[in-house]
């Protein structure tokens, strides 16, 4: 219990995915502002002293005095988060874990923490902080329903002095109404979306606006609520900013939507094409990708409004062969996408995909994110028609071909990619950064390989 009049210190940590022993560098495209710590900082009472450390950018001062450590974790950062939690708990400091992975695997997270937040923090953080002050932390903080986001106010002062990519992240809404089999977002939010009030979003844009500024709306899917989304973009046009976001392909078939996002400053969208095979899309539960005339018509509509695309593709479903990679690369090159990702299928815990592969006996690890033998880009399951190592190598090869110098220059001839000076200038910077990282991520360990501590559960979960 903290005595009245005594300062309470909260330490927020953003964990990295992992690093090789002694490696000081980190993958540059992964160095964006982490919104979760800023949300927690904004929810924290003003009389609490807050310290924030980003494990991707700086060493964590484990011996610095603090009363409570809070870490938001995803599946790829879980092992490193547990290492960090173990360091603090060995020093007698209480740790709370939350985020996607802690919600989907709460019993696992509870082995390495004094408290676990299940679900979003907005409706639970005040009670948790009060319990921490009085030394009465509960093991689990669980919100039965999704909270409104009208109390969400980010404290971006925690980012000062840190070398992030020059892009401002903003969240307009959380969640997605689709139920794609492999997506942890739909499992976490139960295929729902909640949006922040439009005036709060616009206030945040106003407060962060600067000359040459660029925004990334990190919403899981900006098309999940067309009506509210359209009203936001009508208002956003007044601010004359440049922005990108993530959307499902159905956005391309709504002419009014495309007009509005174009006028409001949208420079590009990340769109999950995932596969060219209709049976694979059906198995993914992404048949909506074929609506409205399919990909070709959708791409014509997007090109009409100069919406650049970061196209993503996923490999590892039952129909995928080596020929699938060749056809997908040809499609991506033919359309000269601004960027593209060629990823292997990843079974995240709590998803329908994970359950299916587990029931079919295809998983290669009990919990791949915790297994020291697993590293980034490895296949955590046995595909139907390819060997795991073959699938991993094919993903690397198509990335290397897409981001070859010759292909980068060839894709630059797409009029959409160079339709304004700002994005034409960004094109080589982004594409050559991605080229450098084709092999940099391969076999990256999860967690810090040079960590000398013991990752041992400190209690059995209740």
DSSP 8-state class, residue 58: S
How far apart (Å, rounded) are the C-alpha atoms in residues 306 and 417? 8
| Distances 204 to 59, 157, 175, 208, 461 between C-alpha atoms, Å | 30, 13, 20, 6, 40
Total number of domains in the chain? 2
User: Which tens digits make up the pLDDT trace of 200-258?
Assistant: 999 999 999 988 789 999 999 998 888 889 999 999 999 999 999 999 998 899 999 99
CA torsion, ordered 53, 59, 63, 64, to nearest 10 deg: -40
Do 56 and 118 sit in the same domain of this protein? yes
Residues 6 or more apart in contact with residue 308 via CB below 8 angstroms: 267, 268, 269, 337, 338, 416, 417, 423
Mean pLDDT of 281-303: 91
Q: Are residues 212 and 337 in the same domain?
A: yes
Tell me: do 131 and 188 sit in the same domain.
Answer: no
Q: 461 in a domain, yes or no?
A: no
Strand partners, 96: 70, 115
Indicate the Cα dihedral angle 170, 171, 177, 183, nearest 10°.
Answer: 70
Model confidence at 5: pLDDT above 80: no
Q: Are residues 94 and 173 in the same domain?
A: no
Q: What is the mean pLDDT of residues 270-289?
A: 94
65 and 103 belong to one structural domain: yes
Q: Is residue 447 part of a domain?
A: no
Q: What share of the chain is helix, strand, coil (3-state, %, to 5)?
A: 40, 15, 45
pLDDT tens-digit map of 34-49: 999 999 999 999 999 9
Q: Where are the beta strands (DSSP E) in 275-384?
A: 308-315, 339-344
- End-to-end, the C-alpha distance of the chain in Å comes to 23
Are 112 and 207 in a shared domain? no
| 341, part of any domain | yes
Give the single-character DSSP code of 144: S
Strand duo 242-247 + 214-217: pairing? parallel
Residues 6+ apart with CB under 8 A from 434: 29, 339, 403
Residue 142, pLDDT > 50, answer yes
**Residue 71 in contact with residue 46, Cβ under 8 Å?**
no
| Confidence at residue 462, expressed as pLDDT on a 0 to 100 scale | 34
Give domain status of residue 2, yes or no. Answer: no
- In which domain, by residue range, is 39 found? 9-148
Question: Do both 181 and 330 map to the same domain?
Answer: yes
Give yes or no: residues 196 and 285 share one domain. Answer: yes
Same domain for 363 and 255: yes
Same-domain check for residues 123 and 202: no
Residues 257 and 399 placed together within one structural domain of the fold: yes
- Percentage of residues of the chain with pLDDT beyond 70: 97
Per residue in 82-111, pLDDT (tens digit) is: 999 999 999 999 999 999 999 999 999 999
pLDDT given for residue 210 in this prediction? 86
Token pair listed for 96: 């709370």
Check residue 268 and give its pLDDT: 97
- Look over the chain and give the mean of its residue pLDDT values, rounded to a whole number: 94
Q: Are residues 270 and 296 in the same domain?
A: yes
Q: What is the CATH classification number for the domain harbouring 339?
A: 3.80.30.20
Give the 3-state secondary structure of residue 291. helix
């Amino acid at each position: 219990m903290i005595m009245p009049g005594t300062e309470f210190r909260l330490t927020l940590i953003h964990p990295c995915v992992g690093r090789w022993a002694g490696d000081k560098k980190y993958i540059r495209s992964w160095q964006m502002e982490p919104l979760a710590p800023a949300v927690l900082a904004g929810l924290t009472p003003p009389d609490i002293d807050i310290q924030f450390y980003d494990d991707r950018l700086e060493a964590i001062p484990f011996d610095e005095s603090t009363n409570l450590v809070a870490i938001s974790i995803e599946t790829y950062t879980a092992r490193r988060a547990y290492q960090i939690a173990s360091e603090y708990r060995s020093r007698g400091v209480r740790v709370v874990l939350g985020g996607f992975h802690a919600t989907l695997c709460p019993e696992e997270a509870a082995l390495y923490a004094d408290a676990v937040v299940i679900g979003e923090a907005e409706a639970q953080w005040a009670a948790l902080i009060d319990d921490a002050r009085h030394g009465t932390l509960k093991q689990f903080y669980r919100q039965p329903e999704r909270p409104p986001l009208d109390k969400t106010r980010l404290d971006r002062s925690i980012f000062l002095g840190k070398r992030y990519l020059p892009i401002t992240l903003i969240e307009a809404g959380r969640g997605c109404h689709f139920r794609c089999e492999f997506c942890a977002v739909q499992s976490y939010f139960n295929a729902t979306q909640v949006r922040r009030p439009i005036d709060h979003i616009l206030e945040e844009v106003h407060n962060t606006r600067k000359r040459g500024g660029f925004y990334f709306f990190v919403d899981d899917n900006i098309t999940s609520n067309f009506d509210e989304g359209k009203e936001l973009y009508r208002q956003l046009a007044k601010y004359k900013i440049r922005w990108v976001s993530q959307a499902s392909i159905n956005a391309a078939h709504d002419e009014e939507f495309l007009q509005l996002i174009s006028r409001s400053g949208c420079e590009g969208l990340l769109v999950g094409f995932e596969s060219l095979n209709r049976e694979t899309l059906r198995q993914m539960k992404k048949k909506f990708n074929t609506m409205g005339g399919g990909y070709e018509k959708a791409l014509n509509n997007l090109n009409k409004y100069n919406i650049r695309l970061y196209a993503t593709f996923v490999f590892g479903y039952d129909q995928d062969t080596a020929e699938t990679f060749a056809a997908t690369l040809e499609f991506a090159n033919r359309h000269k996408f601004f960027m593209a990702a060629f990823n292997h299928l990843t079974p995240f815990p709590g998803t329908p995909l994970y359950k299916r592969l587990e029931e079919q006996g295809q998983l290669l690890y009990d919990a791949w994110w915790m297994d020291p033998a697993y590293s980034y880009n490895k296949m955590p399951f046995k595909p139907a028609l390819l060997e795991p190592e073959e699938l991993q190598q094919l993903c690397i090869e198509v990335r290397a071909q897409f981001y070859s110098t010759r292909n980068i220059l060839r894709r630059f001839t797409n009029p959409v990619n160079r339709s304004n000076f700002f994005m034409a200038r960004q094109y080589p910077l982004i594409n050559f950064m991605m080229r450098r990282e084709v092999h940099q991520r391969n076999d990256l360990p999860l967690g810090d390989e040079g960590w000398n501590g013991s990752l041992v559960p400190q209690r059995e979960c209740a």
